[in-house]
Structure 1
Amino acid sequence: MEEYRIGELRHILTMVFLSGFAIFLVRPVMTDVTVAAVCSGINDSCSLAVYLTGVQQVTVGLGTMVMMPVIGSLSDRYGIKALLTLPMCLSILPPAILGYRRDTNFFFAFYITKTLFDMVCRGAVDCLSQAYVAKNVQGKKRIAMFGVLAGVKTISGVFATFSARFLPVASTFQYSMKARFGFKKNDFAELFLLDHIIGSTSQLFILPILVSAIGERWVLSTGLLMEFLNAACLSVAWSAWVPYATTVLVPGAMFVMPSICGIASRQVGSGEQGKVQGCLAGVKSLAGVLAPCIFSPLTALFLSENAPFYFPGFSLLCIAFSLMIGFLLSLLLKDLHSPLVNKAINKTS
């Protein structure tokens, strides 16, 4: 990768860093805030908190499934920078609501507002920044630049999570791990911090080397296999240290999307990068719609006293099986000729 490319993309990288920092700063405390607002007493695993998260994911997924291809296509026509204004502006209000108060009424105001805004905005920054990189970086260097882009966002998670680890919940605002091991804000922050440090290192340094050595498709398969092992280990976690130990498998998750974006972007010209990245984001959103419909009730059931058998991590095991299916399908992945891809993209749009 040529050094001047990094310099030319510094503005988009800065935007990705700052938006990622804002997202990751509040992520470790959201579980505590949600439980405190909707669960009574000291109950750390009430079903309402699980279902609220699932409903939000389904609703947002339906919205972004429709909006991401539209936004990607509009960016090809009116410019990526102009389309980035929408998600950057709308993302300000929801955290400001919780910044004012965190009681039940204000939490639901935050919940509704964020759900509505995320239907339009979630994933837009990632989608448009990937399209921008695809338009400005050509050839085999593109996948490495996708890794840098993802690495910058993950580095923002390092700084944000490090800050959240030492900030009290009141200063920051004013998944089954919590239910099983009693994880609190600091535990989530420490876990996320490890994820982000390992992930950013792998995206910035290991991913480009692997792509050059074994190619994008094998990097994708390797990442899916590591994700399967991670989910399988977490599903049978017997102690609180197991989630920390499985962070060694985090690079797998970090390899998947840059590889997919790189493989897809090489099938179309620079004038259709917004469209193809929007279609990818739309498919990802569709998965975000289907997954909560299946896994949220499953998680709530196996964390309750009415579980058919004792296996608190059963939903994670099901996720591991789905990742294994994805891994097996990636082994069958073949090159697509550009006309076929363009036809599919135009039909989807």
Structure 2
Amino acid sequence: MEGWERLIHLFVTVFMAFLPFYLVNPALTDVTVAAVCGGKDECSLSIYLTGFQLAITGVGSALMMPMIGNLSDAYGRKNLLTIPLILQIIPIVILAWSRTTNFFYAYYAMKILTDMIVDGGVLCISFSYLADNVGEGKRVGAFAALSGVMSMANVCGTLAAGLLSLSLIFKVASVLAILAAIYMRLFLKDSDREKDDLQPLILSSEADHSSKKTDFIHQIPSPKDVFHLLKSSKIIALAASVCFFNSVGEAGAGSFLLYYLKARFQFNKDQFSLIFLIINVGATITNVILMPILGPVIGEQTILCVGIFAGFLSMLLESIAWAPWVPYLGSSLGMFFTISSSCIRSIVSKQVSSNEQGIAQGSLLAMTSISSIVSPLIYSPISAWFLSDNPPFDFPGFCMLCVGFSYVIALILSLVIKFKPFISKDTRHPALC
């Protein structure tokens, strides 16, 4: 029962942490275009700014995520989770104050800096915490449930965004971000494993001060350490490759689909909110209800392949959208393509020991971050070119089709993964195994 209590507090923390992000997300495209495009519905500058933000954030996250994950292995999930939860408050507060061009660029600069830690930090530590408290037999369902909680936050944030005015959205999001950090500090408890591992590090004497510094430095993994982990088994290497190409597709769709729809069908905040709502209602049903039941029965590989194929099919529909209702049809596939990441994380978590969960999840998020560097380098010029007044040929959705090709590569790689028979090694929480 204690394990479930911890997971409930983790779920509430993740819900509250992602709710501000999803609340402001539908409005950010309008805010960006209004601040930099001089009253036009689209401009190349807004697209390139988004691409640059993704690339720089990706570089920072790729370096930071393995370090944050490894430090959480040594110093505790709760201690490290405090950092991204506090940092995410800063850029939201800036837009809550004002959304003029100068304030937008201040937000933009601060968002790049904080997202190097925030963007994957909450996920990295949360999934590591979950792996500490859930046995291997239930892990794919638990990972999916946590993803479902994020989808629930997306649904609630999207609904609220449709009801609130632009000025209120950022004020409410600021308050919610502050409450998330407070709730986590008050209610989330470190697991027994973390307390045992932390005990040697909690030293009060001055003689041990230099030893603590040395321990801290040794917990910072080098790129060589991350590379060694990712190639430590064929399953991990293949899962990391699938993660990379799947994330390239997710980053491309998440960053450039809205600009494409705004230019193609003049969508605004309300239409974007409906699209997010369709995706995440379906994702919530799949992750929270179906995956915990079907995951242990069907297995990760089958679910992973279904999810990736759904991602490709969605991008294909978006690219050839001939009417405003077609993007909604493509978005309905969100109940399937959102399950891929949970499967990949579950696969990798089963290949490492309990004291390596943090660095393993951090390394996966580093792959995701690298994909965020590659994705805008590929899709920013394609999107800007085909949405310009002088495209090479008349196919506004060509960028979305290119995004779909990354899902095809991920699908091919996912078909190669062969799993070892499941043998549970986790006896700490029998009720959760």
CA distance in 2, matches of 1:264, 1:17: 24
Q: Which runs of 5+ in 2 are unaligned?
A: 172-257, 422-433
Which of 209, 224, 240 pairs up with 2:324? Answer: 240
Matched, 1:66 2:63: yes
Match of residue 43 from structure 2:
46
Q: TM-score, normalised by structure 2?
A: 0.75
8 Å Cα contact 2:280/2:335 also seen in 1: no
Match of residue 133 from structure 2:
136
Match of residue 224 from structure 1:
308
CA distance in 2, matches of 1:7, 1:126: 19
8 Å Cα contact 2:141/2:296 also seen in 1: no
Matched, 1:287 2:371: yes
Percent identity of the aligned residues? 43
Which of 307, 312, 317 pairs up with 2:401? Answer: 317
> Which of structures 1 and 2 has the larger relative contact order (alpha carbons within 8 angstroms, sep 6+)?
2
8 Å Cα contact 1:234/1:313 also seen in 2: yes
8 Å Cα contact 2:281/2:335 also seen in 1: no
CA distance in 2, matches of 1:153, 1:96: 22
Deviations 1:101-149 (A, max 9, x none): 1110000000001111111221110111000001111121111111111
Deviations 1:267-306 (A, max 9, x none): 0111110010000000011011100001011100000022
Higher mean Cα deviation, 256-265 or 118-127? 118-127
8 Å Cα contact 1:198/1:247 also seen in 2: no
Deviation of the 1:192 alpha carbon: 0.8
Match of residue 182 from structure 2:
none
**Counterparts of residues 80-95 of structure 1 (less than 5 Å):** 80-95=77-92
Q: TM-score, normalised by structure 1?
A: 0.93
Which of 273, 293, 302 pairs up with 2:357? Answer: 273
CA distance in 2, matches of 1:314, 1:18: 36
Match of residue 215 from structure 2:
none
Q: Which runs of 5+ in 1 are unaligned?
A: 338-349
Moved over 2 A (4+): 3-8, 334-337
8 Å Cα contact 1:131/1:277 also seen in 2: yes
8 Å Cα contact 2:311/2:407 also seen in 1: yes
Matched, 1:23 2:21: yes
Which of 145, 150, 162 pairs up with 2:147? Answer: 150
Q: Determine which structure has more spread, i.e. the larger CA radius of gyration.
A: 2
8 Å Cα contact 2:65/2:366 also seen in 1: yes
Match of residue 202 from structure 2:
none
**Counterparts of residues 5-24 of structure 1 (less than 5 Å):** 5-24=3-22
Partner of 2:136, secondary structure, is: coil
Which of 168, 172, 187 pairs up with 1:171? Answer: 168
Matched, 1:101 2:98: yes
**Counterparts of residues 292-307 of structure 1 (less than 5 Å):** 292-307=376-391
Query: What RMSD, in angstroms, separates the aligned Cα atoms of the two structures?
Result: 1.5
Deviation of the 1:309 alpha carbon: 0.2
Which of 392, 403, 409 pairs up with 1:308? Answer: 392
Deviation of the 1:336 alpha carbon: 7.1
